[in-house]
Structure 1
Amino acid sequence: MVVVDDFSRYILVEFHREKSEACEKMEILCKRLQNEKGAPIVKIRSDHGMEFENVRFEFFCEKNGIMKEFSAPKTPQQNVVVERKKRKPKVKYFLVFKSKCYILNDRENLGKFDAKSDEGIFLGYSTTSRAYVVFNKRTNMVMESINVVIDDAITRVEIDDDRE
């Protein structure tokens, strides 16, 4: 689901497995955005997808004073901003899971000859902050850090049990 704020052109992409989840995700998103921005959502514009044409979503919009607006069927040109974003997704910035990485050792006081980074394994993206989730091989701990360099040349790394 691609959501675009008409005023700021801020784009938010929500992934879900089935279209039936769209209504629930949209309700949660609306509440979150209203709390974050402190402003009510006035209108939701959508194509005629069945995920937003149901009694539950109609009730949610009426309860919160949100107007629903649909574009004409089979006219994607009425929703140009969203259609353009759906057509050309850019995924070049996604990183390969289990890639070898190097984590800046910024949490400990380092001596003059101590290593400035630790080797690790990239596990994914943090859901609570703008950071990567990595496994630090030296400390044998999963941690979050923004100071990570991913080695794209090596895509899979096995976790070694032999500790020195």
Structure 2
Amino acid sequence: MSTLKKLMKKDLDITFEKNKLCSACQAGKQVANTHPIKTFISTSRPLELLHMDLFGPTTYTSIGGNNYGFVIVDDFSRYTWVYFLEDKTEVAHVFSKFAKRAQNEFNIQLSDNGRVFDNTNIEEYCDEVGIKHKFSAIYTPQQNGVVERKNRTLITLARSMLDEYSTSKKFWTEAINTACYASNQLYPHRLLDKTPCELLNGRKPNISYFWVFGCKCYIYKKRQHLGKFQRLVILVSYLSKAYRVFNNATGMVEETYDVEFDESNGSQGAHVDVVDIDEEPLVEAMKNMPIDDIKPKEDEEKV
């Protein structure tokens, strides 16, 4: 070291070349390799490559009894589907249903190397229908970064939506479902500058029917002498042609088109108290949450 210091004082140009691996340096300084951001699209059409991941168990069990979220992202369009599970062993069954509904339009799908995907049921199904199933390297979630980032986005959006009107955290599945629905309609692809819905369906989505998650609203009950829009409820999700709202009076999630919304008093404003509701009928309603079609139909963009 003393010799090097003397040489440095004389302004000599000294370069060091690494000609061998230093075990001490590797033990103390080694870091994970970087994963550069992709600047190109590796697929040419929707459903050519799918990214899948499972998050959970969550801190709060949903009213429907779910603790996990199974997320599927299309590589080309970034269109996202999310399914809610009570147990991670349900993944194989849910995926087989998804694949059948997509009518075997897949060539490849990519998931992370979690043991939940490495099971005989999925492998047998993929072999049977000719689907190639690839794993990312263990402890390297960056290789499945598309869906990992989508998980973070959905959870962040859901957390914000629940906080806006102090909605009970038991509705986390509905919040994530709404976040997924909105991101498919609103967020443009970074490289293609089109929304996932437009890339998958070929048309620009209609977003005129969007309202703030958790806002209070009033539904119209036909054949009941209550007057119009007298039942106070909160918006919890969307369907293709209706809204999903929680009726605090009945403790049920209802699907309706006849509804008026009130978005005032947001950001921690006064709201419907759903802490002491009768959960039994609501559990069944949440368990039977509808699953969107793989590809949106022509008339599904209007409510």
Native 8 Å contact 1:121 1:136 kept in 2:
yes
- Say yes or no: does 1:144 pair with 2:212: no
1:153 equivalenced with 2:270 (yes/no): yes
CA contact (8 A) 1:122 1:134 kept: yes
Inter-CA distance 148–60: structure 2 relative to 1 (3 Å threshold): farther
Deviation at 1:116, TM superposition (A): 5.4
Q: What secondary structure, in the 3-state scheme, does the structure 2 residue paired with 1:117 have?
A: coil
Measure the CA separation in 1 of the matches of 2:271 and 2:118: 47
* CA RMSD between the two structures: 3.7
Distance of 1:61 and 1:16 partners within structure 2: 21
1:111 is matched with: none
Question: Deviation at 1:106?
Answer: 9.2
Find the partner of 1:121 among 209, 233, 240: 233
The 5 A counterparts of 1:50-89 are 50-88=115-153, 89=155
| Match 2:218 to one of 103, 112, 133 | 103
If each structure's strand is expressed as a fraction of its own residues, which one has the higher value? 1
Q: Residue in 2 aligned with 1:112? A: none
Any unmatched runs of 5+ in structure 1? 109-114, 160-164
Mapping of 1:28-67 within 5 angstroms? Answer: 28-34=97-103, 40-67=105-132
Question: In 2, are the aligned partners of 1:131 and 1:144 still within 8 Å (CA)?
Answer: yes
Which structure: larger Rg?
A: 2
Superposed displacement of residue 21, structure 1: 0.9
> Which residues of structure 2 form unaligned runs of 5+?
1-69, 172-213, 264-268, 278-303
1:77 counterpart SS class: helix
Does the 8 A contact of 1:124 with 1:133 survive in 2? yes
Structure with greater helix percent: 2
Assess if the C-alpha contact under 8 Å between 1:132 and 1:145 holds in 2: yes
Please tell me whether residue 17 in structure 1 is matched to residue 82 in structure 2. no
Note the C-alpha offset of 1:27.
0.8
TM-score by length of 1: 0.68
Tell me the TM-score normalized by structure 2.
Answer: 0.40
Looking at structure 2, the residues matched to 9 and 128 of structure 1 have their Cα atoms a distance apart, in angstroms, of 19
Contact 1:135–1:142 under 8 Å retained in 2: yes
Q: Cα–Cα, structure 1 residues 102 and 64, in superposed 2: closer, same or farther, change >3 Å? A: same
Matched, 1:93 2:161: yes
- Three-state SS of the structure 1 residue aligned to 2:86 is coil
2:270 maps to a residue whose letter is A
Percentage identity across paired residues of the two chains: 33
Distance (whole Å) between structure 1 residues aligned to residue 105 and residue 93 of structure 2:
18
